[in-house]
Structure 1
Amino acid sequence: MCEDLCVHGLVEYKRCLYYENGKKVIEARWRGSSIILKSKLENFSSYEPLGILDYQDTAEELSPVDVVFYATLEVRNSLGLAEENEDEEGGGGGGGGSNSSLAKLWGKKLKNRDKGYSRAELASLWSLLQQEEYTFLRVLQDLSTHVAKVLGSCGHFYAVEYLSAGHAWDQNIFSLEEVAVSGLQDQDRDGARGRWTTREMVHRIALSFLDMVWHFDNDFTHKLHLCDIKPENFAIRKDLTVVAIDVDMAFFEPKMRDILDQNCSSDDDCNFFDCSSRCNLNKRRCSPRRRNSNLQVICEKIFRPWFSPTLLGAKAGLPLQVPGF
C-alpha cells in the first residue's frame, strides 16, 4: 500500500470519520474503491519502538521465521491469550488462540518471501502489532466472515474494507438502500434472480447476527466477548452478512477474565461496559466469569430497539417471524 500512497498517488483522502484521543478513522479511496484507514495513535513516534532495532545490522539478520516468532509473541500478549493448557481449554474451533494457529497465520503472510525485512518494514509491523484491533482482525482474517477484512497497511495505518455501517439515530439501524443486493430466491420457474424485499433483508440480517453470536461463542479455542455492542460498531456486506467493524472492546476468554477479576463492594463495580459479572461480597472480589452474554446484549441493544412494536405500531407485523421457523 505504501507504494500506491507515496509513489503512485492511488490513495485519495475523502473525509475524517473519527478523531479522538489520537485515534484516527479516515475514509479514503484506493485504486478507485472506498476503504477505511485506521490508527490507534496519531503519530508513528507514539508507538513503542522494536527494541532489537537498536542494535546495528539486527534488521538485516532477522529471518522471516524470526519475524514470525516476534510477531506471534506480541499478538499473544496483545490479545491476552493463555500461556498454559490452552489446547485443553475452551471450545473446539482451534483458531484464534493456540500458538500453532498464530504461527501459521502470520507465517502465510510473513514467510512468503525470499529476502529479509528492512528496518522501516519491521518498525511499521511493530507499530501495527501494538494496535489491539489490528492484531485481532489479522488473527481472525482467515477464520471468520464476521470481522472486517484488512486490505493493506502503510506505517502505523491499516486499511479495512468499506462497509455500510449501522447507526443509532434511526430505528432502521442499517440503510438497506445503500446495499445493492440481489436475492437468491426464485422469482419464476426459470430461477431468475430478483431483489430481496425489505422484510426479507431484515430477516437475513437478524439471522446473521445470531450466526455471528454462535460463531464467536463456539468456533475458536476461546470464547470471544464483545463488550461494546451498539449499531455503529457493526456493518453489513452486500450479501447481508453482519460484520464487527470496531473491535477495540472485543476480548477472548482469558483476557476477559483478567479484566473482570477486580476488587468490588457491589455488583455495580463488576461492570465493564457491556460485559458484567457478580461481586462476591465475602471476598469483595468480582467473579472472573462473565454473567451476561453477547446474545443478551445484542437482544437488548440491537434487536429490541430495532423491532420495538411500540415504535413500529401497527406496522410491526411480527418483524422477526421467519417462514419455516
Structure 2
Amino acid sequence: MAKGSQSSIHHPSNSFYSRVRNSQRRGGGRGQQPPSGCRGRLAQGSADKSRRNYVAQIQKGRSGLRRGSPGPGRGRARAGAGAARRARSGTGVRGASAAPRPRRRSLGAAAAEAAAPAQPSPGAAMRGIPGLKRLRLKIWRRCALLLLLLWAACWVVVSAALFLLHRSVFSESCTDEKSRRILARLCLDYSSGALTGDLCEDLCVAQKLVYKHCLYYDRGKKVIQADWRGQPIILKSKKESFSSYQHLSMLEEVETQDIPETELLLMVALEVKNALGLELSNNTMGPLWTRKKGPRWKAQVASMWSLLQQEEYIYFSLLQDFSKHVLRIIGSCGHFYAVEYLTAGHAWHKTLFPLENVIGPSLTGHRSRVRAIIDIALSFLDMVQHFDNDFSHRLHLCDIKPENFAIRHDLTVVAIDVDMAFFEPKMRDILEQKCTGDEDCNFFDCFSKCNLKIRKCGAQRANNNLQVICDKIFRRWFSPNLRGPLVSLPLQLQLQKAVQECAQPGHTGAAGHQRTLKSLSELYHLLRVTQRELQGPE
C-alpha cells in the first residue's frame, strides 16, 4: 500500500491538479469526503506543498509588477491573489466544494495578462442601458411638468388681462344694488334736464313707479321688474347708461326749437330703415314720434333718439297697434321703456309655460292643462300666419325658444324678446354671406343654403317660423310620452305624425311654401278636432 502511494507521488503524470481531479471522480462530485488512511494523508500533504509553491510564485510576480510601471497590471495581480485565496479556502477543508482548480501559468504569462488593458464586460454594458432609459424618462417628465406650469401661468396672465380690459364681461351679474344704482343715475340725468319721458315723474319724483327686483342682464341689456301704480311692469334698455347711446349732433348746433317736425320725422324714417330694413311713410311714424315742442323739447328729442337705437323698441312701437302677439309699451323714461309684465316660459318646465299663472290654481286639473296646451298651440299657429302674411314683409323669428315667449290670461302667445326678429329685407342682407358649406349659412334658427359655385349663401331662408316652432315647442307637447286617455289614440297618432313632418326642414321656393301651407292647414284641423274632444267637464 506504501509502494502504491510513493509511486503515485513521484510519477511525472500525477501532478497536483490531476490528483485533485481523480479524487473528485472517485468521490462522485461536490460534497464528497477525501480518501482516508495513509494514502489520503500523503495526498493532502502533497496538495498543501503545491499550493504553497503556487502562492509564492504569484506573490513574487506581484512584487515584480509593483517594482515596474503602474497600470492596470496591479488590478490583474490583485485578481490573481484573490484567486489564490479562493483556491486555499476551497480545497483541503473537510466538507468544502471540490471545484476544479485553474491550470498553473508561468510568471511571464501572468505578467503579460496583467499588463493588458481591462475590457468592460458585456453584462456591465447591458446594466447601463436601463439606467440611461430611466434618466431620459425623468428628464422628459420634468420637461412636461415645466411646459404645463408655463401654460397655466400664461392662461392666468391672459385671463387677468381680459378681466382688466373687459371687466363688464365678468360683472354682468344681475343684482338689486346695481339695478337701483342704474335707476338712480337715470333720475339724476332727468333732474339735470338731459332726458325726459312720461314715466320719469312717477319714477323720480312721485315714487309711483317702485323698483321690485332685477330679472336679468344679457350682453349689456338690462331687464328690471317694477310696480307702477299697483300694476307690475318690465323696464328694458339695451344699454346701461344714457350717455352710452349715440347723441344727435343736430341738438348741439341749435339752441332753440328751430328744427321742423318734418325733418325730425325724416330722421326717424332713416333710422327705422337702418335698423329694420323697412321704408315707412310719415303716416306710420305716429307711435315713434308723439312728442310735442315744449320746455323740455331738446330732452324729448335726445330721449327719442336713444330709444330709436333699440330695435326691440321699434318693433313693439310699430306693431302694437297691428298685432296682439307683441308686448304693449306702457311708457318710457330716457332710454328705458316700460312694457306689460308677462311670465316667460322655460325649457325645463314640464309644459314649457307656467299654466297655473294663466288658468288659475282652481283649474289645474289634467283636462284643463291639456285644453290650455291645445289653445296655446292654436295661438302659435295664428302668430305664424300673422307674421308671414299681415305685414308688407314677412317677419322672421331667428331665436325661437320658450324663454322668448309668454302667455296672456286669454291664452294668447306673445313674443316678448324680438332682438332676433327681422323683416324680409334685413333677413336677406344677413343671410347673404360668403360660405364654404351650408353650416356657414346658419344664423341662429334661420338657415340658408350655400352656393358652392360662387361660394355665397342664398338670400332666401331655407326653413321657416313654423318648422322651428314644431321642432322646439310642439315636439315637447305632442310626444308619445304625453299620451293620455282624454284624447282618442288615433287622433293622438295623427297629431304626432303631423308635428314630426312639420318639424322636418323643407324645400325652398314654391315647393317649400306649399309644404308649409299643407302642414299649417293639417295642424289647424287636428288641433281643433282635439279641442272639441276636450269640451267635456273636468
TM-score of the alignment, normalized to the shorter chain, above 0.5: yes
* SS of residue matched to 1:164: coil
The structural deviation recorded for 1:63 is: 3.9
* SS of residue matched to 2:283: helix
- Residues 271 and 308, structure 2, Cα contact 8 Å, conserved in 1: yes
The residue aligned with 2:326 is 147
- Residues 345 and 354, structure 2, Cα contact 8 Å, conserved in 1: yes
Distance change >3 Å, CA 23–CA 323, structure 1 → 2: closer
CA distance in 2, matches of 1:52, 1:114: 16
- Counterpart AA for 2:430: I
CA distance in 2, matches of 1:323, 1:280: 44
Give unmatched runs, 5+ long, in structure 1.
82-97, 182-195
The residue aligned with 2:348 is 169
- Counterpart AA for 1:232: E
- Residues 62 and 117, structure 1, Cα contact 8 Å, conserved in 2: no
CA distance in 2, matches of 1:77, 1:246: 20
- Counterpart AA for 1:242: V
Distance change >3 Å, CA 153–CA 262, structure 1 → 2: same
- Residues 68 and 107, structure 1, Cα contact 8 Å, conserved in 2: no
The residue aligned with 2:225 is 27
CA distance in 2, matches of 1:291, 1:43: 39
Please point out which of 308, 311, 315 is paired with 1:132.
311
TM-score w.r.t. the length of structure 1 is 0.84
The structural deviation recorded for 1:109 is: 6.2
The structural deviation recorded for 1:57 is: 1.5
- Residues 227 and 233, structure 2, Cα contact 8 Å, conserved in 1: yes
- Residues 72 and 106, structure 1, Cα contact 8 Å, conserved in 2: yes
The structural deviation recorded for 1:285 is: 0.3
The residue aligned with 1:69 is 266
- Residues 61 and 116, structure 1, Cα contact 8 Å, conserved in 2: no
Distance change >3 Å, CA 244–CA 55, structure 1 → 2: same
1:16 matches 2:214: yes
* SS of residue matched to 1:290: coil
- Residues 309 and 316, structure 1, Cα contact 8 Å, conserved in 2: no
The residue aligned with 1:39 is 237
The residue aligned with 1:216 is 387
The residue aligned with 1:188 is none
The structural deviation recorded for 1:207 is: 0.3
CA distance in 1, matches of 2:462, 2:425: 15
The structural deviation recorded for 1:164 is: 2.4
The structural deviation recorded for 1:77 is: 1.2
The residue aligned with 2:448 is 277
1:118 matches 2:316: no
The structural deviation recorded for 1:112 is: 7.1
The structural deviation recorded for 1:64 is: 3.6
Q: Say which structure is richer in strand.
A: 1
The residue aligned with 1:159 is 338
Distance change >3 Å, CA 145–CA 40, structure 1 → 2: same
Q: After superposition, give the CA deviation of every residue in 1:30-51 in whole Å (9 maximum; x if it has no partner).
A: 1110011111111111110012
Q: After superposition, give the CA deviation of every residue in 1:39-84 in whole Å (9 maximum; x if it has no partner).
A: 11111111100121120325x2234433322222211211122xxx
Distance change >3 Å, CA 64–CA 8, structure 1 → 2: farther
Which has the larger Rg?
2
Distance change >3 Å, CA 315–CA 36, structure 1 → 2: farther
Q: After superposition, give the CA deviation of every residue in 1:79-111 in whole Å (9 maximum; x if it has no partner).
A: 122xxxxxxxxxxxxxxxx522xx223236635
Greater relative contact order structure (CA < 8 Å, 6+ sep): 1
Give unmatched runs, 5+ long, in structure 2.
1-198, 361-366, 496-526, 534-538
CA distance in 2, matches of 1:52, 1:174: 47
The structural deviation recorded for 1:165 is: 1.5
The residue aligned with 1:204 is 375
- Counterpart AA for 1:69: L
The residue aligned with 1:2 is 200
* SS of residue matched to 1:4: helix
Please point out which of 398, 418, 426 is paired with 1:227.
398
The residue aligned with 1:308 is 479
Please point out which of 49, 59, 78 is paired with 2:275.
78
The residue aligned with 1:95 is none
1:184-195 to structure 2, matched below 5 A, reads: none
- Residues 265 and 289, structure 2, Cα contact 8 Å, conserved in 1: yes
Q: After superposition, give the CA deviation of every residue in 1:151-193 in whole Å (9 maximum; x if it has no partner).
A: 1110110111101211111121111111157xxxxxxxxxxxx
The structural deviation recorded for 1:197 is: 2.4
1:246 matches 2:417: yes
CA distance in 1, matches of 2:398, 2:486: 29
CA distance in 2, matches of 1:294, 1:129: 26
CA distance in 1, matches of 2:215, 2:308: 23
- Counterpart AA for 1:99: L
The structural deviation recorded for 1:223 is: 0.3
- Residues 13 and 28, structure 1, Cα contact 8 Å, conserved in 2: yes
CA distance in 2, matches of 1:121, 1:112: 7
- Counterpart AA for 1:6: C
- Counterpart AA for 1:163: L
CA distance in 2, matches of 1:258, 1:108: 26
* SS of residue matched to 1:25: strand
- Residues 63 and 116, structure 1, Cα contact 8 Å, conserved in 2: no
- Counterpart AA for 1:68: L
Please point out which of 251, 268, 271 is paired with 1:53.
251
- Residues 291 and 300, structure 2, Cα contact 8 Å, conserved in 1: no
Runs of 4+ in 1 over 6 A off after TM superposition: none
Q: After superposition, give the CA deviation of every residue in 1:251-292 in whole Å (9 maximum; x if it has no partner).
A: 000000000000000000000000000000001000010000
The structural deviation recorded for 1:313 is: 5.1
* SS of residue matched to 1:197: helix
The structural deviation recorded for 1:324 is: 5.4
* SS of residue matched to 2:459: coil
> What fraction of aligned residue pairs are identical, expressed as a percent?
58
CA distance in 2, matches of 1:15, 1:284: 49
The structural deviation recorded for 1:113 is: 4.2
The residue aligned with 1:84 is none
